[in-house]
Amino acid sequence: MNHRIHEILAFIFSTSGWVLVSSTLPTDYWKVSSLDGTVITTATYWSNLWKTCVTDSTGVSNCKDFPSMLALDGYIQACRGLMISAVCLGFFGSIFALVGMKCTKIGGSDKSKARIACSAGVFFILSGLCSLSACSIYAQRITSEFFDPMFVAQKYELGAALFIGWAGSVLCVVGGVMFCFSIASNFSKRYASPISSHLLKHLQFTTSIRVLPYIPTGLPHNTVSPPGCKTLTKMYMCDK
């Protein structure tokens, strides 16, 4: 029962993280224009991995998609690839987790299900690392431009999407590690029980034997062995 609860918690953590990571892709506010040192704000600039937008003081927004993928900055292309990889890895991890969990009826034997669950954990860990790297690269670019005194263009601050991505990455990694530990606990229980039963039988056998010395003096040739004992060459072996 404890093992199943452990797997259910791992599935909740990892899938919740994957949903959060997936929600960051269409989120608008990856970076927002900084208001530091601005007295009057006439417009707010914000952008994500796919477009850049501006919102004026009346609340009207105008967006423009990035015209060319090859003309984009390298860090945006890297973040796109890492986030898409994170979503795909999390999807396969969810499928493997559903098959490998003990509370489901598919996947074969317990040994096979434990291996599938461990594979799901690896997928979730890779998904979390990919999304964590993408958000960190994007945030590093924003902070480096913000604190650069020679950078005279529009400066930005961290948007809400980055914090959502970081939270989802941590949940994916935690859930994946819990899935990987499930195979270790399964195999420890699998190999510990036969050894324990063998030792218990051995101890029961050794404690159930009493050895009596053979006394040849005064015993005729056809002497009957004591009750519960077997006659040996030089001794009697008796049950307790």
Domain ranges of the chain: 2-198, 208-240
Q: What is the mean pLDDT of residues 62-76?
A: 86
Residue 201: band (very low, low, confident or very high) from pLDDT cuts 50, 70, 90:
low
DSSP collapsed to 3 states, the chain: CHHHHHHHHHHHHHHHHHHHHHHHCCCCCCEEECCCCCCCCCEEEEECCCEEEEEECCCCEEEEECCCCCCCCHHHHHHHHHHHHHHHHHHHHHHHHHHHCCCCCCCCCHHHHHHHHHHHHHHHHHHHHHHHHHHHHHHHHHHHHHCCCCCCCCCEEECHHHHHHHHHHHHHHHHHHHHHHHHHHHHHHHHHHHHHHHHHHHHHHHHCEEEEECCCCCCCCCCCCCCCEEECCCEEEEEC
Q: What is the mean pLDDT of residues 76-80?
A: 93
Q: Span 2-198: which CATH code?
A: 1.20.140.150
Q: State the pLDDT at residue 42.
A: 72
What is the value of pTM for the model shown?
0.73
- Digit-coded pLDDT (tens) for 140-178: 999 998 888 888 778 889 999 999 999 999 999 999 999
Mean pLDDT (the chain, rounded): 79
Residues 85-139 pLDDT 10s: 999 999 999 999 988 888 887 767 878 888 888 899 999 999 999 999 999 999 9
Measured between alpha carbons, how far is 7 from 96 in angstroms, rounded to an integer?
Answer: 12
Instruction: Answer yes or no: is pLDDT of 212 > 50.
Output: no
Predicted local confidence at residue 205, as pLDDT:
46
Cα separation values, 110 from 8, 46, 84, 91, 211, Å: 16, 50, 32, 23, 45
